[in-house]
């Protein structure tokens, strides 16, 4: 049995690779994972920030809104953002392909799911790579020693498409309405532990209060 299988407390990390606050939160979450790895089992659910009818092209007005949001996220999270990609009017702001790519990487190598998510967010926000392009997903997959052939096979599978949608609806069913969000479970109860961006210090305080409350 894996050591994590015996952990009573679990946290579900709800994030979306096209959410600037999820990108900014990446280093905080990695630090929390390391700090609480012996107390908490961490798992991932993809968000569905924009998909289907809510996926829209980058109009001038939408680009202006995103620029303000990205600048706010950069100021608060201290993560670097590059804004040039917001000038590409042909780009469709659709998080479904990127979420599907993370699901694909997770199916092939479960242990890299969080790293692949953070890497994909960085490729969009900092490197300004197309977040809907298979080339972006394949390039990142190769960095994790996943061949293009294997990744494409999983990415294009209809089961992966269904699993991606299932992730979205599962998160919605848990009350996830903003990204990033953390959902706790102690085996008896579950609920939203944190919604939206938090600093490490803020989240560490929340977790310490949680464990004091459950007398862990």
Strands 190-195 and 181-185 come out as antiparallel
**Could you please report the per-residue DSSP string of 57-83?**
E--HHHHHHHHHHHHHHHHHH------
Residues 18-34 pLDDT 10s: 999 999 999 999 999 99
Instruction: Give the Cα separation of 191 and 48 in Å (integer).
Output: 19
Q: 187: left (phi > 0), else alpha (psi -120 to 50), else beta?
A: left
Structural contact between residues 214 and 190, judged by C-beta atoms closer than 8 angstroms: no
Closest CA to 100 of 135, 132, 56, 140: 132
Q: Please, what is the Cα angle at 143 between 101 and 114, to 5 degrees?
A: 50
pLDDT at 8: 80
Average pLDDT by consecutive 10-residue portion of the chain (216 residues)? Answer: 61 96 97 95 92 86 96 98 92 94 98 97 97 97 97 98 96 92 83 95 95 74
Structural contact between residues 8 and 56, judged by C-beta atoms closer than 8 angstroms: no
């Amino acid at each position: 049995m894996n050591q994590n299988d015996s952990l009573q407390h679990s946290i579900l990390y709800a994030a979306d690779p096209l959410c600037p606050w999820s990108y900014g939160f990446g280093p905080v979450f990695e630090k929390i994972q390391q700090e609480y790895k012996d107390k908490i089992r961490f798992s991932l659910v993809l968000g569905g920030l924009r998909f289907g009818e809510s996926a829209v092209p980058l109009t001038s007005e939408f680009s202006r809104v995103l620029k303000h949001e990205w600048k706010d996220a950069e100021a608060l999270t201290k993560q670097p953002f590059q804004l040039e990609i917001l000038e590409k009017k042909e780009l469709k702001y659709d998080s479904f392909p990127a979420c599907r790519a993370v699901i694909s990487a997770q199916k092939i190598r479960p242990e890299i799911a969080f790293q692949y998510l953070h890497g994909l967010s960085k490729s969009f926000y900092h490197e300004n790579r197309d977040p809907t392009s298979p080339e972006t997903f394949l390039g990142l997959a190769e960095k994790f020693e996943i061949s293009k052939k294997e990744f494409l096979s999983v990415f294009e599978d209809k089961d992966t498409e269904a699993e991606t949608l299932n992730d979205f609806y599962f998160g919605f069913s848990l009350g996830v309405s903003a990204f990033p969000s953390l959902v706790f479970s102690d085996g008896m109860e579950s609920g939203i532990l944190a919604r939206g961006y938090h600093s490490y210090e803020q989240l560490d305080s929340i977790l310490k209060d949680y464990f004091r409350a459950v007398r862990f």
